[in-house]
């Protein structure tokens, strides 16, 4: 028994010696690696350079935050700090379309342009006096049935003053089929409307036969959302079944949306042609239409509120001899890209510019119509005349 215990102790001692030797060898190897490869550091030179660059660029802001954390008498709202820093950085850019959105704000943005959403059936905009007004009322929505009109100034939602478009979006969309109260001003007269939230499917396209005897149809594209080009194609096909092969495309008040949908819509009505190009910092992407098209005659209506993707649509068609009627467009020929950040927030930056098929820029210039027509009715009549002569 004694002999067996001694044997076990010897084996344990041998294992401990082997482990110590192995550990010592590993430490020696690590020290040699640090001195020869890493110059005595625990991190690589690449990582060290990164940390030093960060300290040079942002170190003082970190120091300010430490002082606030340790010494400031008043409490700090960390969410507001995050937003203020992001907005402060964006303000240093010469980019009036740069924007920072919190996770909630981005969700509302996504619903407006990429998915269906719950709402009351109105789209809002800021007018020239920075007042929040109804830009359009969705066909078949509760807002339309209740009598809300484009141009109404929105004062309150559920008794709360509406300070921004994001505020309005959150209050309107909600999450269920509950009521929402709108307080609006129309011609100085204040009115209240009780509306019901519901699921809204808005592809931005409506259509009608304008004059069957003259084979003229009418399509309104109010925004370029995901799926708009497909709906535009369907609208043309439905009008053709009504024997309408001359079409007025109305993009007045269309403030833009998804650029790819604008190109897709242009492709539906143009035979093989150049649609223009998108130029970014590192590459240029050219867009063309294919041989297939709806084979219809078009005129396009625009106004000063036609912007961004809608202007690109108008510019591409004008460069291919489609007549444009109305007033000069807004002048936003640049494209923004969404960059997602940690925590769900995003930054939207201008990353590219549109150049039309003739090599012309439309940014800050707009698209000049072939036929000037300021009044809505006058523009429609001019469009009818042009199509009748084709």
- The answer to whether the CB of 346 falls within 8 A of the CB of 339 is yes
Long-range contact list for 186-195, CB < 8 A, 24+ apart?
Answer: 186/149, 186/151, 186/152, 186/153, 190/155, 193/143, 193/146, 193/147, 193/148, 194/146, 195/120, 195/121, 195/142, 195/143, 195/146, 195/148
Nearest CA to 246 among 296, 179, 201? 296
Which residues, listed in sequence order, are joined to residue 156 by a DSSP beta bridge? Answer: 161, 183
For 180-230, the DSSP string reads: EEEEEEETTEEEEEEEE-EEE---SEEEEEEEGGGTEEEEEE--B-TTHHH
For 205-388, which CATH superfamily applies? 2-enoyl-CoA Hydratase; Chain A, domain 1 (3.90.226.10)
Sorted by sequence, the CB contacts under 8 Å of residue 353 that are 6+ apart come out as: 278, 279, 280, 333, 334, 335, 361, 363
User: To which residue do tokens 């403030």 refer?
Assistant: 255
Give the other-Cβ count within 10 Å of 171's Cβ.
18
pLDDT at site 19: 43
pLDDT at site 39: 54
Q: Name the percent of the chain lying above pLDDT 70.
A: 83
pLDDT at site 235: 94
pLDDT at site 31: 46
Q: What's the pLDDT tens digit per position in 242-297?
A: 999 999 999 998 889 899 999 999 999 999 999 999 999 999 999 999 988 888 99
Phi, then psi, of 306 in degrees rounded to 5: -75, 120
Q: Name the percent of the chain lying above pLDDT 90.
A: 46
CATH class entry, domain 117-200: mainly beta
What's the pTM value of the predicted model, to 2 decimals? 0.70
**What is the pLDDT averaged over residues 21-50?**
54
- Please, what is the average pLDDT of the chain? 83
Q: Would you place residue 3 in the very low, low, confident or very high pLDDT band (cuts 50, 70, 90)?
A: very low
Q: What's the pLDDT tens digit per position in 153-178?
A: 999 988 988 887 767 777 776 555 57
Nearest CA to 314 among 390, 383, 263, 377? 263
Three-state DSSP class for 38?
Answer: coil
Residue limits of CATH 3.90.226.10 in the chain:
205-388
For 126-182, the DSSP string reads: E-TTS-EEEEEE-TTSHHHHHT--TTPEEEEETTEE--SHHHHHHHHH-SSS-EEEE
Residue limits of CATH 2.30.42.10 in the chain:
117-200
| Rg of the chain over all Cα atoms, to the nearest angstrom | 31
- The answer to whether the CB of 135 falls within 8 A of the CB of 124 is yes
Q: What's the pLDDT tens digit per position in 194-244?
A: 988 776 666 678 899 999 999 999 999 988 988 899 999 999 999 999 999
Q: Would you place residue 97 in the very low, low, confident or very high pLDDT band (cuts 50, 70, 90)?
A: very high
């Amino acid at each position: 028994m004694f002999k067996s215990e001694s044997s076990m102790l010897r084996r344990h001692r041998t294992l401990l010696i082997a482990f110590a030797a192995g550990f010592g060898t590993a430490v020696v190897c690590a020290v040699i690696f640090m001195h020869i490869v890493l110059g005595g550091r625990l991190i690589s030179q690449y990582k060290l350079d990164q940390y030093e660059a960060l300290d040079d660029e942002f170190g003082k802001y970190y120091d300010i935050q430490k002082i606030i954390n340790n010494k400031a008498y008043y409490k700090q709202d960390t969410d507001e700090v995050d937003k203020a820093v992001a907005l402060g950085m964006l303000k240093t850019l010469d980019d009036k379309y740069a924007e920072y959105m919190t996770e909630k704000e981005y969700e509302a943005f996504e619903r407006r342009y990429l998915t269906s959403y719950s709402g009351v059936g109105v789209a809002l905009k800021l007018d020239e006096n920075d007042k929040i007004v109804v830009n359009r009322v969705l066909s078949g929505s509760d807002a339309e049935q209740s009598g809300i009109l484009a141009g109404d100034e929105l004062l309150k939602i559920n008794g709360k003053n509406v300070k921004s478009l994001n505020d309005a979006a959150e209050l309107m969309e909600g999450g269920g089929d509950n009521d929402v109260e709108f307080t609006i001003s129309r011609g100085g007269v204040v009115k209240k409307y009780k509306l019901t939230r519901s699921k809204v499917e808005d592809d931005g396209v409506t259509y009608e036969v304008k004059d069957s005897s003259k084979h003229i149809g009418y399509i309104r594209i109010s925004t370029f959302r995901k799926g708009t080009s497909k709906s535009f194609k369907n609208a043309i096909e439905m009008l053709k079944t009504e024997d309408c092969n001359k079409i007025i495309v109305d993009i007045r008040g269309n403030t833009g949306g998804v650029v790819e949908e604008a190109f897709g819509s242009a492709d539906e009505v143009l035979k093989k042609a150049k649609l223009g190009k998108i130029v970014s910092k590192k590459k240029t992407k050219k867009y063309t239409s294919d041989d297939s098209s709806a084979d219809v005659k078009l005129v396009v209506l625009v106004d000063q509120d036609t912007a961004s993707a809608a202007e690109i649509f108008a510019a591409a068609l004008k460069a291919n001899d489609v007549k444009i009627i109305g007033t000069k467009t807004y002048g936003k020929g640049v494209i923004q890209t969404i960059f997602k950040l940690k925590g769900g927030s995003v930054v939207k930056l201008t990353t590219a510019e549109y150049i039309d098929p003739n090599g012309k820029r439309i940014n800050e210039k707009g698209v000049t119509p072939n036929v000037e027509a300021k009044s809505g009715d006058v523009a429609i009549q001019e469009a009818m005349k042009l199509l009748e002569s084709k």
